[in-house]
Amino acid sequence: MATLREDFPVLDRQVGGDVTTPGPDDADDTPLVYLDNAATSHTPEPVVEAIADFYRTYNANVHRGIHHLSQEASVAYEEAHDRVAEFIGAAGREEVIFTKNTTESENLVAYAWGLSELGPGDNVVMSQMEHHASLVTWQQICKKTGAEARYVRLTDGGHLDMDHAAELIDDDTQMVSTLHVSNTLGTVNPVEELTQMAHEHDAFSFVDGAQAVPHMPVDVKEIDCDFYAFSGHKMCGPTGIGVLYGKQAVLEEMQPYLYGGEMIRSVTFEESDWEELPWKFEAGTPVIAQGVGLHAAVDYIDEIGIERIHDHGSSLAAYAYDRLTEHDDVTVYGPPGDDRASLVAFNVDGVHAHDLSSIVNDYGVAIRAGDHCTQPLHDELGAAASARASFYLYNTRDEVDALVDAVDEARQLFA
Amino acid sequence: MGIGGGSDMYRQQILDHYKNPRNYGELEDPDISHTGENPSCGDTITLDIALADDGETIERAVFSGDGCAISQASASMLSQELHGTTLSELEAMGREDITEMLGVDISPMRIKCAVLARQVAQDGAKLKDGDITDLDVTQVE
């Protein structure tokens, strides 16, 4: 994987200088060690080139022009849907809606489906490890509709308590919405089983795959979920694009979330009717350049091989787990090293996560510190915040060592 | 290292105040008592202030709380700094006064940790004077 780093020029950057003006400056003097990939991944040259090529040579709005450039842009934009569908095992472009991000994908379903279908007596089942994207969205839709929000407990080992899930999912459950991979614990959840449990009670299943699709093979038909969401920028693509997969039959029944141009077939002063899928859910000028970029990102990942990316990330996470837990004062949250996705969230006794992050930053090491959009989970863990290192295809063992050394500096400073 | 880097921010003075906080605790009958938090970090500070008979001069400031080194050291130093100052001097304290007090460059992302204690003190004083009435807990974002 080492040669892949050449595709990511930002990885050669030095840091440490002035942060108030973007980009390198003369005061940057420390090589960057980028371990914040669960927040966002870097963008390889072929993806940057694809986006630049769009703007340089065939930039146009889609679906409304019959001029040459508009046709080229429309073809590219539609093919991006086909490519994503193929990548996640969807039936076709009808099942792939481009949104702004995973959060918007959650909101789309919550508003377009939840607001009209949920009511008092119904419940939505989530888990205690939910990201705010899902938790806050369904929590608020439940408040609006009178439905009940339920949360599946965790085991001590950081997995979902499936017995508790079986208790919570009942005939009043309308939606089971869970993470595929926890962005804090690194747990890989049994989403097939959860989907099956949902379906046994005639409930829908929504899977948040923001931390899964970039890192492991995902086949939505195998999972059999009704909805699946993820973001482009965590998988070598640009920011500004998310994906909502939905089963065609389910999407057909849903009303639009946003109204406006692009999503209509015909409009009178009195009535409108909707475009076919997926355009019905993509109102206004859509994310054209981002779609082109996401297409290139999927190509990039496919060329390397998602299995290979998965094995690389898991092995780095296991190595980081082992190295960090060499010290008794380190708590790593979630399952053991050989049973986790490519991230480790941890705390060092006596060093607040924000202090830790500031100090390792001085050694060029970029990690995340905070609640990682899982405040209720952190409450359960009894920690206000944690530090998180997350890995991707271009990271190395040397970079894990750099993290461990920098953590050691922090430990000594606070001793 | 560069601006706002760890070694700059964690000079001995900060670490000393973090590890050995001054004026840590609570006052039995404070003239001012107010709490603030930094929700994104989980930093919390409660500041108790006793005033002299003139009702204006701070006789004693005591704090308790939990959080990162920057927030706690800042509260510890401020508790010393406030001794003998007046409420109007407190009101006039700006961000620069805090960074000057800390004696280090604070990176932009951490400035909210550094100013939490000052904000708690200022809001506490305003609550006492009735300048603000509807504030339960100060939140610094």
User: What's the mean per-residue pLDDT of chain B?
Assistant: 90
Per the CB < 8 Å rule, is A358 touching B107?
yes
What percentage of chain A's residues is helix, strand, coil (to nearest 5)? 45, 20, 40
Assess whether pLDDT exceeds 70 at residue B6: no
Interface test with B, best of A30, A355, A359, A403 (most B CBs within 10 A): A355
**Mean pLDDT over residues A312-316, rounded?**
97
Q: Supply the pTM of this predicted model.
A: 0.93
Confidence band, pLDDT 50/70/90 cuts, at residue A415: confident
Closest residue to A359, CB basis, from B10, B67, B108: B10
> Do the beta carbons of residue B79 and residue B18 sit within 8 Å?
no
Per the CB < 8 Å rule, is B69 touching A28?
no
Give, rounded to a whole angstrom, the gap between the first and last alpha carbons of chain B.
Answer: 27
Q: Which residues of A are catalytic?
A: 373
* Distance (Å) from the alpha carbon of A212 to chain B's nearest alpha carbon: 25
What CATH number should be reported for the domain holding residue B58?
A: 3.90.1010.10
Confidence band, pLDDT 50/70/90 cuts, at residue B21: very high
Per the CB < 8 Å rule, is A29 touching B10?
no
CA distance B61 to B76: 9
Q: pLDDT at position B7, please?
A: 58
Q: Is the CB of A379 inside 8 Å of chain B's CB atoms?
A: no
**Mean pLDDT over residues A21-39, rounded?**
96
pLDDT tens for each residue of A97-124: 999 999 999 999 999 999 999 999 999 9
Could you tell me which residue, A382 or A86, shows the higher pLDDT?
A86
Assess whether pLDDT exceeds 60 at residue A145: yes
Q: Is the CB of A17 inside 8 Å of chain B's CB atoms?
A: yes
- Other CB atoms within 10 A of residue A113 CB: 24
Contacts with A358 from chain B: Cβ below 8 Å:
5-6, 9-10, 70, 107, 110
**Mean pLDDT over residues A396-410, rounded?**
97
**Mean pLDDT over residues A229-255, rounded?**
98
Confidence band, pLDDT 50/70/90 cuts, at residue B8: low
**Mean pLDDT over residues B113-117, rounded?**
95
Per the CB < 8 Å rule, is B70 touching A354?
yes
Interface test with B, best of A30, A358, A374, A379 (most B CBs within 10 A): A358
Q: Which of A145-159, A371-385, B122-136 has the highest mean pLDDT?
A: A145-159
Question: Chain B residues with CB-CB distance to A under 8 A?
Answer: 1-10, 15, 18-19, 40-43, 66-70, 107-108, 110, 113
Confidence band, pLDDT 50/70/90 cuts, at residue A237: very high
Q: pLDDT at position B108, please?
A: 84
pLDDT tens for each residue of A342-387: 999 999 999 999 999 999 999 999 999 988 999 999 999 999 899 9
**Mean pLDDT over residues A329-335, rounded?**
96
Confidence band, pLDDT 50/70/90 cuts, at residue B5: very low
Per the CB < 8 Å rule, is A352 touching B69?
yes
B35 occurs within a structural domain = yes
Per the CB < 8 Å rule, is B3 touching A19?
yes
Handedness of CA A5, A6, A9, A15 (dihedral sign): positive
Per the CB < 8 Å rule, is B5 touching A16?
yes
Q: pLDDT at position A65, please?
A: 78
Confidence band, pLDDT 50/70/90 cuts, at residue B4: very low
B77 occurs within a structural domain = yes
* Distance (Å) from the alpha carbon of A386 to chain B's nearest alpha carbon: 9
B73 occurs within a structural domain = yes
Confidence band, pLDDT 50/70/90 cuts, at residue B133: confident
Assess whether pLDDT exceeds 50 at residue A200: yes
B91 occurs within a structural domain = yes
Please report the domains of chain A, with CATH numbers, ordered by start residue: 2-31+305-414 (3.90.1150.10), 48-303 (3.40.640.10)
Per the CB < 8 Å rule, is A363 touching B19?
no
DSSP A219-269: -HHHHT-SEEEEESTTTTS-TT-EEEEE-HHHHHHSPPSS-SSSSEEEE-S
B111 occurs within a structural domain = yes
Q: pLDDT at position B93, please?
A: 95
B137 occurs within a structural domain = no
Q: Which of A1-5, A17-21, B103-107 has the highest mean pLDDT?
A: A17-21
pLDDT exceeding 70 applies to what percent of chain B? 94
Confidence band, pLDDT 50/70/90 cuts, at residue A339: confident
B139 occurs within a structural domain = no
Q: Is the CB of A314 inside 8 Å of chain B's CB atoms?
A: no
Nearest CA in chain B to A386: B41
Confidence band, pLDDT 50/70/90 cuts, at residue A338: confident
Take residue A395 and report the two structure tokens written for it. 């990271």
**Mean pLDDT over residues B56-79, rounded?**
96
In chain B, how many domains are there?
1
Closest residue to A361, CB basis, from B6, B15, B18: B6
* Distance (Å) from the alpha carbon of B6 to chain A's nearest alpha carbon: 4
Assess whether pLDDT exceeds 90 at residue B2: no
**Mean pLDDT over residues A241-247, rounded?**
98
Closest residue to A354, CB basis, from B7, B8, B41: B41
CA distance B96 to B73: 16
Q: pLDDT at position B106, please?
A: 86
For A289-327, b/e burial (b = at least 16 CB within 10 A) is bbbbbbbbbbebbeebebeebbebbbebbbbbbebbbee
Q: Is the CB of A385 inside 8 Å of chain B's CB atoms?
A: yes
**Residue labelled with tokens 């914040």:** A36
- Other CB atoms within 10 A of residue A403 CB: 25
Q: pLDDT at position B3, please?
A: 38
Instruction: State the residue range of the domain holding B117.
Output: 6-130
Contacts with A361 from chain B: Cβ below 8 Å:
5-6
Per the CB < 8 Å rule, is B2 touching A30?
yes
From the list A109, A380, A308, A333, the residue with the least C-alpha distance to A228 is: A109
Per the CB < 8 Å rule, is B69 touching A414?
yes
- Other CB atoms within 10 A of residue A5 CB: 16
Assess whether pLDDT exceeds 80 at residue A64: no
Take residue B66 and report the two structure tokens written for it. 């939990």
**Mean pLDDT over residues A37-46, rounded?**
98
A242-246 and A96-99 strand pairing = antiparallel
From the list A107, A2, A25, A51, the residue with the least C-alpha distance to A233 is: A51
Q: pLDDT at position A69, please?
A: 96
Backbone region of residue B65 per phi and psi (left: phi > 0; alpha: psi in -120 to 50; beta: other values): left
